[in-house]
Amino acid sequence: MNFCLTYVNEGLVLVLNVKIAKMTVEQLDEVMEVENLCFKIPWSRNSFIEELTGNKFAMYFTAGVNGKIVGYAGMWKVFDEGHITNVAVHPEFRRSGVGSALIEYLIETAKENGIARMTLEVRRSNLAAQKLYRKYGFKECGTRKAYYADNSEDALIMWKDDIRG
């Protein structure tokens, strides 16, 4: 799926053609670059390989601009629920709409796969991500105390109910 995004960066109006596609093992060098830039405790390459090749519940997608991976997102389908495992956007492409395109794609994929509701965890301090998720109807429904191993930060649990509606 292709998205055409227009955004302003340092006073310039930029247009991005973003291609969202199923993640492949061959893309993992670029995915790992984004992963390592975005997370204090990044997933390992082997974790991604296992998700892509061994987890029948997993669905992962990349966002590419001019043939370069600039973001990715994934979720698990567990019965009629979708659990978003990760969403990451290269720092140079944040606030460009790439994150929104990935979330929209996950929601559409969930609808196509009979998923009724979706959930995710997000750092309490990650206000930008929380704002993005709220934009798509996710609501805070609980807390996982000391969820993140790097600093014992709490995670907010967010749900989007009835995605078909």
132: closest CA among 92, 101, 108?
101
Span between the terminal Cα atoms of the chain, in Å: 22
Would you call 108 a catalytic residue per the annotation? no
Catalytic pick from 121, 136, 140, 153? 121
Cβ–Cβ < 8 Å for 122, 85 = no
Both tokens of 54, joined, read 């061994």
Would you call 121 a catalytic residue per the annotation? yes
Residue at token pair 């991005």: 16
Catalytic pick from 60, 72, 105, 133? 133
- Can you tell me the distance from the alpha carbon of 20 to that of 96, in angstroms, rounded to the nearest whole number? 15
Q: Return the active site residues.
A: 121, 133
